[in-house]
């Protein structure tokens, strides 16, 4: 009797468990279904809104486009040119500050200031419309900079400063190459700009002292390595003579070993050291080439600027979009206002 009662209790418990699980799945599916219904309802509401107001939106778009076309016809053509540079000695920040200063002169319409800065006449200076600068983003720059950082600090510091942390602290100024862009209404004004932009940083006394100090150290290291290379060549000649003399003695029948094996080993060590020093000299030559100037010019401004075109620069396209968006906002505000009036009632 007791066994049958236990079985009935177990069946009741299992039945309750299945009911709970079933309700759980039912609630889950209902929740997923409500999400899809909500999304579908939102899409339908948007489509109904556009269908109801399509004529008004089209009219606003056409009006905006016509105004934009009128402005596009009347506006002057714009031309652009780019200057690619590789700043050294942490001079990128100063370069950015200078470019922003030139752009501020343009925004303030300070034609006289631009004319004095770039040695231009007022008409030409007035044709300048924008200065901008941005880095050429390259992931390898971050990796190379981190490798340089790792070699320059102790192991404990490296362990406490991961690559991801280093990457987060990497700024626009830290990239190796930067692009300076200028926009003007004349296409032949750019030749007069690059020398002034570069010299504004190159004439800085701090950067000049830093350049001289680093180049002196590189030249000193280069001289020491070359002296070491000459000494190694002399030692190699000595060991070669020892090996030749040892070979002659062996051919005459003597069995006396004067250190021939050691000479061979030392000769290999000297050969390895020679290769390492030559590799270091190549690296120094590359660094001297890079650090010879405060700012290396990779590509100058084009003498004749390119015409700035594109649909995103066209006033007709931009004002057509503005007209459509403006009309949609107005219609939405009217609907919200109508809803609020009905809500009060």
Q: Does 7 have pLDDT greater than 70?
A: no
Mean pLDDT for 35-51 is 82
Distances 330 to 50, 53, 68, 277, 337 between C-alpha atoms, Å: 13, 11, 20, 74, 11
**Six-digit token string for 115:** 């004319």
The pLDDT confidence band at residue 258, using thresholds 50, 70 and 90, is: very low
Mean pLDDT for 215-230 is 85
Q: What is the pLDDT of residue 17?
A: 64
**Segment 130-139, tens digit of pLDDT:** 999 999 988 8
Prediction pTM value: 0.66
Higher-confidence position of 36 and 13: 36
Inter-residue contact 319 to 65 (CB < 8 Å): yes
Residues in contact with 53: Cβ distance below 8 Å, sequence separation at least 6, in sequence order: 327, 328, 331
Distances 328 to 63, 176, 333, 341 between C-alpha atoms, Å: 14, 46, 9, 20
- Give the CA count within 13 Å in the CB-facing half-sphere of 226: 9
Tell me the sheet residues that pair with 267.
none
The pLDDT confidence band at residue 256, using thresholds 50, 70 and 90, is: very low
**Segment 147-206, tens digit of pLDDT:** 877 777 766 666 777 788 888 888 888 899 999 999 998 888 888 898 899 988 888 888
Inter-residue contact 76 to 313 (CB < 8 Å): no
**Segment 262-295, tens digit of pLDDT:** 545 666 777 788 888 888 888 888 888 788 888 8
Inter-residue contact 84 to 193 (CB < 8 Å): no
- Expressed in angstroms, the distance from the first to the final Cα of the chain is 70
């Amino acid at each position: 009797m007791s066994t049958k009662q236990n079985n009935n209790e177990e069946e009741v418990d299992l039945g309750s468990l299945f009911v709970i699980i079933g309700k759980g799945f039912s609630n889950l599916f209902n929740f997923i279904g409500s999400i899809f219904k909500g999304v579908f309802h939102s899409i339908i509401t948007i489509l109904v809104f556009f269908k109801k107001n399509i004529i008004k939106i089209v009219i606003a778009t056409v009006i905006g486009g016509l105004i934009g076309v009128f402005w596009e016809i009347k506006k002057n053509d714009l031309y652009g040119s780019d200057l690619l540079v590789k700043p050294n000695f942490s001079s990128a920040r100063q370069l950015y500050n200078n470019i922003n200063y030139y752009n501020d002169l343009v925004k303030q319409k300070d034609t006289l200031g631009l004319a004095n800065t770039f040695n231009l006449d007022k008409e030409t200076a007035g044709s300048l419309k924008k200065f901008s600068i941005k880095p050429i983003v390259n992931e390898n720059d971050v990796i190379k900079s981190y490798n340089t950082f790792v070699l320059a600090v102790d192991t404990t510091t490296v362990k406490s400063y991961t690559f991801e942390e280093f990457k987060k602290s990497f700024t626009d100024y830290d990239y190796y190459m930067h692009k300076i862009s200028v926009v003007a209404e004349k296409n032949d004004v750019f030749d007069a700009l690059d020398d002034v932009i570069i010299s504004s940083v190159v004439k800085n006394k701090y950067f000049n002292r830093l350049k001289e100090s680093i180049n002196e150290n590189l030249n000193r290291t280069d001289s020491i390595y070359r002296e070491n290379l000459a000494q190694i060549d002399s030692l190699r000649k000595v060991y070669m003579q020892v090996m030749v003399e040892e070979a002659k003695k062996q051919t005459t029948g003597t069995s006396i070993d004067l250190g021939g094996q050691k000479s061979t080993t030392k000769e290999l060590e000297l050969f390895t050291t020679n290769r390492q020093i030559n590799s270091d000299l190549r690296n120094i030559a590359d660094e001297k080439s890079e650090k010879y100037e405060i700012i290396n010019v990779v590509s100058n401004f084009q003498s004749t600027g390119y015409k700035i075109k594109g649909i995103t620069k066209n006033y007709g396209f931009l004002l057509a979009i503005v007209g459509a968006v403006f009309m949609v906002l107005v219609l939405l505000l009217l609907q919200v206002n109508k809803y609020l009036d009905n809500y009060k009632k």
